[in-house]
Amino acid sequence: MRGPETRTEIIGAADRLFYERGFEHTSFADIAEAVTIARGNFYYHFKSKDEILSAVIARRVAHTTALLERWARDNPTPRGRLSAFVGMLEVNGDAIMRYGCPVGTLTIELSKLLHGSRDQVVGLFDLFRDWLAEQFRALGRDADAQALALHLLMRSQGVATLYTAYRDRDFVIREMAMMESWIDEVAGTQPAATI
């Protein structure tokens, strides 16, 4: 009937369920129920579960690319863009508290499964890393832009994990402030308006 729309819905539901329950713990029946289609239908769209996973990753790549472009559009300065990244921890707070970081947790799960799509997921980290490095480069840190980007990525991963563990919002707020201070240090700028 709708064709590509059903396919899109399947990918969307799988994306959400893979995040909330994990890849392995999500069954075809779960996805079918979420989309309210017949079980047999997504063998018309996908030949295997791995194929759905690849489509989910592709979707995340597209969404992440769009997110980074939006951040760049909404924030003229590199410093402001870095704050947009830090702010993600608060914007997605509830989800992170329950399910952790979508990229980090999927990377870990696929690593333990020795799953072939692992590297594709790490590609999502690359998107953030390269985008962050670009901002640090714009702030005059050409030499160590990539290392600084990885450091900020590392911090967001650590905060996300401990947020899932302790569910302590104050901890997140505190660490976000520390990340902002750190950015100010390496950028050699004055602290921005109170955040």
Q: Say which entry of DNA, a copy of itself, none residue 29 contacts (CB below 5 to 8 A, set by partner kind).
A: DNA
**How big is the site for a copy of itself, counted in residues (CB under 8 A)?**
37
Computed on alpha carbons and rounded to an integer, the radius of gyration of the chain in Å comes to 19
Q: Are 155 and 107 in contact (CB under 8 A)?
A: no
Q: Are 183 and 75 in contact (CB under 8 A)?
A: no
Query: What span, in angstroms and rounded, lies between the C-alpha atoms of 156 and 152?
Result: 6
Please identify which residue in 15, 17, 45, 180 interacts with DNA, judged by CB under 7 A: 45
- Looking up tokens 């947020």 gives 163
Please identify which residue in 20, 34, 43, 146 interacts with DNA, judged by CB under 7 A: 43
Tell whether residue 29 is a contact of DNA (CB under 7 A). yes
How distant, in Å, are the alpha carbons of 18, 50, 60, 183 from that of 189?
A: 40, 46, 33, 9
- What's the min distance (Å) between Cβ of 25 and DNA? 8
Please identify which residue in 12, 16, 34, 49 interacts with DNA, judged by CB under 7 A: 49
Please identify which residue in 41, 49, 171, 184 interacts with a copy of itself, judged by CB under 8 A: 171
x/- track of binding to a copy of itself for residues 13-52 (CB under 8 A): -------xxx-xx---------------------------
Tell whether residue 161 is a contact of a copy of itself (CB under 8 A). yes
Nearest Cα to Cα of residue 141 among 131, 151, 133, 130:
133
How long a stretch of residues is the chain? 195
Helices (H) and strands (E) in the chain, counts: 10, 0
Tell whether residue 37 is a contact of DNA (CB under 7 A). yes
Using CB atoms within 10 Å of the CB of residue 142, give its burial: 0 to 12 exposed, 13 to 18 middle, 19+ buried: exposed
Q: Which stretch binds DNA (CB under 7 A): 28-36, 57-65, 79-87, 172-180?
A: 28-36
| Sites of contact with a copy of itself (CB under 8 A) | 20-22, 24-25, 98-100, 104-105, 107-109, 111-113, 122, 125, 147, 150-151, 153-159, 161-162, 164-166, 171, 174-175, 178
- Where on the chain is the footprint of DNA (CB under 7 A)? 1-7, 24, 26-30, 37-41, 43-45, 47-50
